[in-house]
């Protein structure tokens, strides 16, 4: 794993504008940054990143089976009691998952460490699946990278195949997000491209314009009934909104399914550690009150915890409300504190590698149950926030 | 570099244009399909034997069986026999599978079935038909209403997706309320409009 100064394409900005990738620069800072790129060996990709990510997803599925039958865990994950059945039934009926993204810390050797699983509303899908792919093609065409250079990025193909696998051809799928958030909307559009390639009907509805009919079904802004809803809006919020009472009876299929509420929840991390203590791709994690109370498991993790503890709320996006402490000393605190009011978990801090002053986090994409690609973001800070830069990657050998 | 190793990236990637095309077809209508209505299985088989439809006798039987299953599942139910007969212009029967409770549940007889060629599938789409109060024939949700229970027509595939209390996806519905999603209560500020991570 190396950070290589390849230089940006001369026409990068034009390419981005032509693709409608308007947020390649945000707040005057580059968001998409191809001045440098990360290079990996095939062995690093396959053995250290791809296979462990697929295995982690399987472990998460095992954890879901445990969580949905435990009232105690459902409570600790702050799933509203009135929706426990909705969540549990979506799991028991085998409602299929579509996609997710693990965030891993990896330095080129040794096991990658999972820091969290964005299993419900991961973004950066366009950057990972499409713009990164185009970048590699251009770099090969320009002669900046040799013919035959590859990239771990089968995301688009896998999404198309997954749509075809879980829905009959011709199924109408409504996609929803906030239309005025360009990053969210781009992810939804990318998803819609894959759905259409799988012969699905793709329709967009702005989230606040979703309506409920007399019979309790959801409808779009034109009053058309929604049969399948891809929502780039987290389950923890859906379950607390005014329309939450209609979710179970709306005869609507949700993507992601409701059981993702317990996966895309930092409370998953202590459950995984409890079930798979010592797994090389996991970091010791505890519910914050369990850590403070102490236990045999906490004692066994003492060394790792002494290097630092990351506290995160069970719900949080873009690094909000995360703090990193070593003993009483603050290593780093998120400036955005929107999620401070929620129950916290504590995870052993794993020092991130530093490349030219930047700390990369590897996002691995899961489609269905398999890891199919990756994208990197880097930041000078230890907490990857919403202004972290997206970095393209390629495979060296 | 060996040429034989499969690529680890998407082989053929279409040009993705944000903000323009992903939902461009949203306004388009469903493609209509050829649909036939039959009062019973025998008339379907007769039409199949006569070669006037694209179905085989086996298709007739399979579709009839599917229609029966759908009938059991989604036929309109009433707790009052007179109301059922009024709504369906004729005889209603007791729902044998509705167990216990205070009294009997009534359902109309199946008055035929709709059969449509499946788009890309090998089994015909089908829906049971019921008489309505006006003497016409309708699917359970009332989404499709026919003058007779015999004949053929071009119909939207959604005509076949009716369910009892639920309207088919994409069918027009009366929206009673909007704005019930999006308050994002887990974020104390609610200022962020981005929900990805």
Tens digit of each residue's pLDDT (9 = 90 or more) over A23-37: 899 888 899 999 999
Contact with chain B for residue A251, Cβ under 8 A: yes
Chain A partners within 8 Å of B177 (Cβ)? 211-212
Pick among B6, B7, B10 to test the A interface (most A CBs inside 10 A)? B10
d(CA A370, CA A395): 19
Task: Tell me the CA end-to-end span of chain A in Å, nearest whole number.
Answer: 12
Average pLDDT over residues A356-362: 96
d(CA B185, CA A241): 7
pLDDT at B163: 47
Beta bridge partners of B53: none
Q: Which residue of B has its CA nearest to A119?
A: B197
Chain B partners within 8 Å of A395 (Cβ)? 8
Chain B closest CA to A121's CA: distance in Å? 5
Top-confidence residue, B137 or A187: A187
Q: Which of B126, B163, B113, B122 is nearest to B142 (CA)?
A: B163
Chain B closest CA to A304's CA: distance in Å? 26
In total, the C-beta contacts within 8 angstroms joining chain A to chain B are: 246
pTM: 0.77
pLDDT at A382: 81
CB A1 within 8 A of CB A106: yes
Chain A partners within 8 Å of B173 (Cβ)? 213-215, 217, 219, 223-225
Instruction: Match 């499946």 to its residue by tokens.
Output: B118
pLDDT at B78: 82
Pick among A83, A239, A241, A339 to test the B interface (most B CBs inside 10 A)? A241
Backbone angles phi, psi at A100, to 5 degrees: -170, 170
pLDDT at B115: 86
Q: Which of A38-52, A57-71, B64-78 has the lowest mean pLDDT?
A: B64-78
Contact with chain B for residue A232, Cβ under 8 A: yes
Instruction: Show the tokens assigned to B162.
Output: 């009716």
Judging by DSSP bridges, how do beta strands A201-206 and A172-177 pair with one another?
parallel
Which pLDDT band, with edges at 50, 70 and 90, does A229 fall under?
very high
Out of B120, B177, B188, closest to residue A211 by CB? B177
pLDDT at A26: 84
DSSP A113-162: EEEEEE-SS---HHIIIIIHHHHHHHHHHTTSS-TT-B-SB-HHHHHHHH
d(CA B50, CA B38): 14
Q: Cβ separation of B181 and A155 shorter than 8 Å?
A: no
Indicate the DSSP class of residue A99. Answer: E
Determine the length of chain A: 397
pLDDT at B169: 65
Out of B9, B169, B185, closest to residue A151 by CB? B9
Contact with chain B for residue A133, Cβ under 8 A: yes
pLDDT at B102: 63
Q: Which of B59, B57, B35 is nearest to B46 (CA)?
A: B57
Chain B partners within 8 Å of A234 (Cβ)? 186, 195
CB B149 within 8 A of CB B112: yes
B141: exposed, middle or buried (Cβ count in 10 Å: 0-12, 13-18, 19+): buried
B1: exposed, middle or buried (Cβ count in 10 Å: 0-12, 13-18, 19+): exposed
Q: Cβ separation of A228 and B169 shorter than 8 Å?
A: yes
pLDDT at A115: 95
Q: Which of A227, A217, A229, A226 is nearest to A256 (CA)?
A: A229
Backbone angles phi, psi at A213, to 5 degrees: -90, 175
pLDDT tens profile A93-132: 999 999 999 999 999 998 999 999 999 999 999 999 999 9
Among A211-220, A316-325, B54-63, the range of highest mean pLDDT:
A211-220
Strand (E) or helix (H) holding A134: helix A132-141
pLDDT at A215: 86
Top-confidence residue, A40 or B48: A40
Which residues, at least 6 apart from B118, have a Cβ–Cβ distance to it below 8 Å?
Answer: B124, B125
Contact with chain B for residue A135, Cβ under 8 A: no
Chain A closest CA to B72's CA: distance in Å? 18
Average pLDDT over residues A64-76: 97
Cα Dmax for chain B: 79
Q: Which residue of A has its CA nearest to B161?
A: A227
CB A363 within 8 A of CB A102: yes
pLDDT at B186: 75
Residue-averaged pLDDT of chain A: 94
ipTM of the complex: 0.87
CB A111 within 8 A of CB B3: no
pLDDT at B191: 45
Contact with chain B for residue A154, Cβ under 8 A: yes
Judging by DSSP bridges, how do beta strands A329-333 and A323-326 pair with one another?
antiparallel
Strand (E) or helix (H) holding A236: helix A235-238
pLDDT at B139: 81
Render each residue's pLDDT in chain B as its tens digit; 197 residues: 445 678 999 999 988 888 766 675 444 445 567 788 899 999 999 988 988 787 888 888 888 998 998 888 888 888 888 888 888 888 789 888 765 556 788 889 999 998 886 544 566 778 888 888 878 888 876 667 777 787 777 666 666 654 444 566 676 777 778 888 988 777 655 445 566 66
Question: CA torsion sign, A227 to A232 to A234 to A238?
Answer: negative
CB A379 within 8 A of CB A359: yes
pLDDT tens profile A254-307: 999 999 999 999 999 999 999 999 999 999 999 999 999 999 999 999 999 999
């Amino acid at each position: 794993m190396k950070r290589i100064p390849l230089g940006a394409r001369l026409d990068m900005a034009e390419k981005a504008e032509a693709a409608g990738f308007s947020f390649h620069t945000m707040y005057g800072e580059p968001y998409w940054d191809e001045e440098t790129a990360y290079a990996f060996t095939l062995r690093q990709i396959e053995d250290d990143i791809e296979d462990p990510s697929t295995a982690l997803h399987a472990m998460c599925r095992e954890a879901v089976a445990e969580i949905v039958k435990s009232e105690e865990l459902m409570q600790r994950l702050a799933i509203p009691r009135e929706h426990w059945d909705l969540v549990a039934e979506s799991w028991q009926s085998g409602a299929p998952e579509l996609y997710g993204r693990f965030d891993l810390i990896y330095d080129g050797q040794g096991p990658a460490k999972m820091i969290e699983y964005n299993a419900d509303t991961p973004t950066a899908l366009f950057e990972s699946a499409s713009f990164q792919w185009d970048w590699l093609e251009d770099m090969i065409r320009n002669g900046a990278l040799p013919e035959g250079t590859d990239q771990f990025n089968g995301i688009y193909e896998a999404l198309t195949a997954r749509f075809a696998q879980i829905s009959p051809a011709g199924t109408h799928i409504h996609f929803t997000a906030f239309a005025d958030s360009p990053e969210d909307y781009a992810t939804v559009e990318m998803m819609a491209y894959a759905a259409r390639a799988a012969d699905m009907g793709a329709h967009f509805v702005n989230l606040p314009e979703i309506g409920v009919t007399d019979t309790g079904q959801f409808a779009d802004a034109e009053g058309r009934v929604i049969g399948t809803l891809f929502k780039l809006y987290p389950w923890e919020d859906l379950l607390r909104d005014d329309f939450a009472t209609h979710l179970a009876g709306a005869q609507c299929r949700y993507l992601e399914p409701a059981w993702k509420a317990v996966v895309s929840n930092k409370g998953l991390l202590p459950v995984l550690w409890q079930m798979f203590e010592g797994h090389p791709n996991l970091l010791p994690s505890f519910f914050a009150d369990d850590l403070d109370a102490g236990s045999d498991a906490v004692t066994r993790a003492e060394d790792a915890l002494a290097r630092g503890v990351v506290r995160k709320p069970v719900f949080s996006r873009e690094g909000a409300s995360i703090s990193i402490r070593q003993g009483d000393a603050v290593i780093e605190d998120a400036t955005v504190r929107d999620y401070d009011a929620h129950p916290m978990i504590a995870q052993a801090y794993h020092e991130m590698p530093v490349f030219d002053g930047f700390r990369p986090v590897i996002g691995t994409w899961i489609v269905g149950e398999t890891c199919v690609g990756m994208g990197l973001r880097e930041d000078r800070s230890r907490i990857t926030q919403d202004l972290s830069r997206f970095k393209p990657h390629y495979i060296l050998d | 570099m060996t040429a034989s190793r499969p690529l680890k990236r998407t082989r053929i990637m279409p040009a993705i244009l944000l903000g323009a095309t992903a939902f461009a077809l949203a306004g388009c209508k469903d493609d209509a399909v050829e649909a036939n209505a039959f009062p019973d299985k025998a008339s379907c088989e007769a039409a199949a034997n006569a070669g006037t439809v694209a179905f085989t006798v086996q298709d007739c039987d399979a579709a009839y069986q599917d229609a029966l299953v759908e009938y059991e599942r989604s036929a309109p139910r009433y707790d009052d026999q007179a109301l059922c007969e009024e709504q369906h212009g004729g005889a209603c029967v007791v729902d044998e599978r509705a167990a216990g409770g205070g009294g009997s549940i009534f359902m109309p007889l199946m008055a035929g079935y709709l059969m449509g060629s499946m788009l890309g599938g090998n089994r015909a789409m089908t829906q049971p038909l019921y008489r309505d109060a006006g003497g016409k024939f309708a699917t359970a949700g009332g989404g499709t209403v026919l003058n007779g229970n015999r004949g053929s027509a071009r119909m939207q595939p959604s005509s076949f997706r009716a369910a009892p209390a639920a309207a088919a996806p994409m069918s027009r519905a009366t929206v009673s309320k909007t704005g019930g999603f999006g308050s994002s209560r887990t974020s104390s500020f609610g200022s962020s409009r981005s929900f990805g991570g």
